[in-house]
Amino acid sequence: MNKEEKNQVVEALADQLNNNNNFYIADTSELNAEDTSALRRLCFKREVTLTVVKNTLLKKAMVKTEKDLEGLYDILKGPTSIMFAEAGNAPAKLIKEFRKTTGRPILKGAYIEEMTYVGDDQLDFLVAIKSKNELVGDIIGLLQSPVSNVMSALQSGGNILSGVVKTLSEKEKVDRSGPPHHRTRWLEVVAETSEVDPTQVDQLEFRCRTTADSVVVRRSWGVLAQGGCRRPIMPTMVRLSIPDIGPMVPRRGWPVGRALGRCIMSLTRWSFDGEIPNLGKGVMIVAPHTSNWDFIVGVAAMLTLDLDLRFLGKHTLFSGPLGPLMRGLGGIPIDRNSPGGGVVDDMTERFRTADQLILGLSPEGTRGAVERWKTGFHRIALAAGVPIMAVALDYGPRQVRFGPMVEPSGDIDSDLAIFYEFFAGTRGKRGNSGPLAS
């Protein structure tokens, strides 16, 4: 392999490391050809990407990334394979299952959601960690529970770590790096520095405290795994600044929903950018739409901002146990097999009779690849005489970004050009297609 080829490998590895929040470093040597093939088949089945790498090239790639991976440098010795997965505990479960019969792979270390873990003795702990999707799913599930259950769940962390947490204190400080009015409430946990039961640590995932314009949510405990020593460390604070919302914008008035939304946004490290127009009626287009994860981010943003937003969904989603939840979140069922004009006429009538109505739509109309946006959102806005607002879900910086507001004209291509310019460079969860592909 010449120098140019090595540089290409390093660049490709660096991109993978930057684009994945979870990866494991393991030793898969001493497996025979049959076992190696079986391991790769299991990885494929479990959606885990397995690659054998050279330690020198992997270290160079780590240095080039935006992540703090210095804690993993010392384990880059001997045969090395790297495993990428969307769920943080997926490779751990796979390793534990596979080596029941083979004794391999051996875990060298792992990086999960900004934390490093070193040594094979961390495997059982990593198996027990909940994935981000599981955590967010638990929070979304709370939306269907009575308010008393929701508040109980949010406040239960202190009992879980009973005997470990000595003092839970709260104080306000001013974030002097930002505008004076941005006040942040920091949640401090003062604990013993003796060893902590990792199963208990994993259960207390977050707490939240809100102020009028900001929230801090953080994992109350982290585990520094160096040589098998587990000690509580103070994790990085996450501050979520909430945009101002004008009096004309429809609101839900649901404090518990706001708290849940802010927890999800901060847990997944999303933020807001831009200003929300002070309008009582309008069509809000949200793009790009490439994954079901977009729905979670969108609902979290809506709840955080306390927006009374309506959205269209397949009528099949509103049947069965999901029906009440979808309607409670603001969903309006539509049959995609019905004539397009019927939906436009129905939405136009809703705008005519409503005092306030913000309708959220995906201009792509599907998660799949499209060559061109559907124009239903433009026809609805034009017929109802309401403006169109653009909102980008940018998975690069993890921002919900508010963009231009356009009064629809008869020249749809000119209107779309304004939105295409705003969305240019926005990164979707699964890439982009059609007008946003470049």
Q: What pLDDT digit, counting tens, does each position of 101-154 carry?
A: 888 899 999 998 777 888 998 898 888 876 655 665 655 565 555 444 544 544
Instruction: Work out the average pLDDT over 230-247.
Output: 61
* The pLDDT of residue 194 is above 80: no
CA–CA separation, 184 vs 172, rounded Å?
6
Strands 165-174 and 183-191: antiparallel
Specify the pLDDT at position 135. 60
| DSSP H helices in 65-172 | 90-102, 123-128, 132-142, 147-154, 157-160
Domain segments of the chain as ranges: 3-129, 161-241, 255-436
Least confident of 110-124, 172-186, 398-412: 172-186
Q: Are 434 and 368 in contact (CB under 8 A)?
A: no
Instruction: Work out the average pLDDT over 259-278.
Output: 87
Task: Name the nearest CA neighbour of 365 among 334, 324, 328.
Answer: 334
* The pLDDT of residue 270 is above 70: yes
Cα 256 to the center of its chain, rounded Å: 20
Residue 67: pLDDT band (50, 70, 90) is confident
Instruction: Work out the average pLDDT over 18-28.
Output: 88
DSSP conformation class of 242: P
Judge residue 410's burial from the number of C-beta atoms within 10 Å of its C-beta, 0-12 exposed, 13-18 middle, 19 or more buried. Answer: exposed
* The pLDDT of residue 180 is above 70: no
Residue 381: pLDDT band (50, 70, 90) is very high
CA–CA separation, 6 vs 422, rounded Å?
37
Residue 89: pLDDT band (50, 70, 90) is confident
pLDDT above 70 as % of the chain: 71
Instruction: Kindly give, in sequence order, each residue whose CB lies less than 8 Å from that of residue 277, ignoring residues fewer than 6 positions away.
Output: 246, 387, 389, 402, 405
First to last CA, the chain: 32
* The pLDDT of residue 387 is above 90: yes
CA–CA separation, 354 vs 328, rounded Å?
18
Least confident of 4-13, 30-39, 128-137: 128-137
pLDDT tens-digit profile of 42-65?
A: 999 888 999 899 999 999 999 888
Q: Which two tokens stand for residue 63?
A: 């240095």
Q: Which two tokens stand for residue 198?
A: 């990792």
- The domain 3-129 is placed in CATH, from the list 3.30.70.360, 3.30.70.1730, 3.40.1500.10, 3.30.365.10, at 3.30.70.1730
* The pLDDT of residue 272 is above 90: yes
Residue 324: pLDDT band (50, 70, 90) is confident
Residue 407: pLDDT band (50, 70, 90) is very high
Kindly report the pTM of this predicted structure: 0.51
Backbone angles phi, psi at 103, to 5 degrees: 80, -5
Least confident of 77-91, 262-276, 424-438: 424-438
Q: Are 228 and 182 in contact (CB under 8 A)?
A: no
Specify the pLDDT at position 285. 93
CA distances from 437 to 236, 318, 371, 426 (A): 34, 32, 9, 9
Specify the pLDDT at position 437. 54
Q: Which two tokens stand for residue 104?
A: 């391999």
Q: Are 258 and 306 in contact (CB under 8 A)?
A: yes
* The pLDDT of residue 6 is above 80: yes
Q: Which two tokens stand for residue 272?
A: 């807001």
Q: What is the rounded average pLDDT for all residues in the chain?
A: 75
| Comparison of pLDDT for 371 and 264, the residue scoring more | 264
